[in-house]
């Protein structure tokens, strides 16, 4: 997968992304990325 394909895929599901250029730079280094997947439950859980 190319860097552009990875960037497009991440952009489709990421709500808050660092700048596109910084993300591209990280992807080009081919290191593992760490993402925060958090949620806040509201209302009664059932």
Residue 26's pLDDT is 92
Q: What is the pLDDT of residues 2-46, one digit of tens each?
A: 999 999 999 898 878 888 899 999 999 988 888 887 777 787 776
Residue 5's pLDDT is 96
Rounded distance between C-alpha atoms, residue 18 and residue 30, angstroms: 17
**Phi-psi bin for 40: left (phi > 0), alpha (psi -120 to 50), beta?**
beta
Residue 36's pLDDT is 81
Residue 6's pLDDT is 93
Contact 17, 23 (CB under 8 A): yes
Rounded distance between C-alpha atoms, residue 38 and residue 35, angstroms: 10
In which domain, by residue range, is 45 found? 1-46
> What is the reported pTM?
0.66
Q: How many domains does the chain have?
A: 1
């Amino acid at each position: 997968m190319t860097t552009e394909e990875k960037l497009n895929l991440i952009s489709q599901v990421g709500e808050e992304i660092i700048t596109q250029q910084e993300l591209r730079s990280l992807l080009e280094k081919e290191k593992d990325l760490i993402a925060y997947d958090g949620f806040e439950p509201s209302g009664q859980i059932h």
